[in-house]
Amino acid sequence: MLYLIGGAPGVGKSFLAKHIGNKHHAEIVELDGLMPAYNASISKEDFSAKLPVWQAKHDRRTPSFSDYKIEAHTYWPHIKSLIEDRLNKVDLPTVIEGAQLSPMLIKDWLNGAKASERKRVKILYLSHGDGSFNEAFVDEAMKAGFKVFSRSEVVSEF
C-alpha cells in the first residue's frame, strides 16, 4: 500500500506519516528531505523562478500558495517517478508526505494510472482549519475530488 499525505505546512503531515508508518510497518519518505537532491538538477539561472518557496525563505518572507504550486510542478517529474517506483518496484508499504503533493497533479496522475496502481494508493489531504494558505490548499484538494481531513479524523481512521 502507498499512502500519499499532502497539505499546507504545519497541518501534521509528518505526525500522520509516523503514525501510519508505525501502525502499518511502512517506510516513510518525507519529500522535504529529498528536495536538496532534486535541486541539483535545476540551473542557477532558473533556481529562483522554479523554486520560489526556497527563494521566499531565503528572503525571509512567508511563501504563498502559488509559490508551493510552482515548486510542486518543478518537482513533479521526480515525485511521479518516486510514486511509480514505490508502486511497481518496492514490495513494502510506503508513506510519502509533503506539501509538494499537489492535488491537481495527483489527480492527473491517478487518471492516467493503471487500475491496479490506483487500488494500492490511499490519498490523504490534511487541514488545520485556518489561514489563507491552508484554505487555498483545501480548495484545490476539494476541486480535485479529494476529501480533506483534520489530523484527529485521520489518526482515528488509520
- CB neighbours of 38 closer than 8 A, spacing ≥ 6? 75, 78
**Going from the N-terminus, what domains does the chain have, and what CATH number goes with each?**
2-157 (3.40.50)
CA 37 to CA 33: how far, in whole Å?
Answer: 8
Confidence at 57, pLDDT banded by 50, 70, 90: confident
What average pLDDT does range 65-89 have in this prediction?
Answer: 93
Give the tens place of pLDDT for each residue, 115-124: 999 999 999 9
What average pLDDT does range 20-39 have in this prediction?
Answer: 92
Give the tens place of pLDDT for each residue, 94-123: 999 999 999 999 999 999 999 999 999 999
Confidence at 90, pLDDT banded by 50, 70, 90: confident
Confidence at 10, pLDDT banded by 50, 70, 90: confident
DSSP, residue by residue, the chain = -EEEEEESTTSSHHHHHHHHHHHHT-EEEEHHHHHHHHHTTS-TTTHHHH-HHHHHHHTTSPPPHHHHHHHHHHHHHHHHHHHHHHHHT--S-EEEE-TT--HHHHHHHHHHS-HHHHTTEEEEEE--S-SHHHHHHHHHHHHTT--EE-HHHHHHH-
Give how far Cα 113 sits from Cα of 29, 82, 135, Å: 21, 14, 28
pTM of the full structure: 0.91
The whole-number pLDDT of residue 158 equals 67
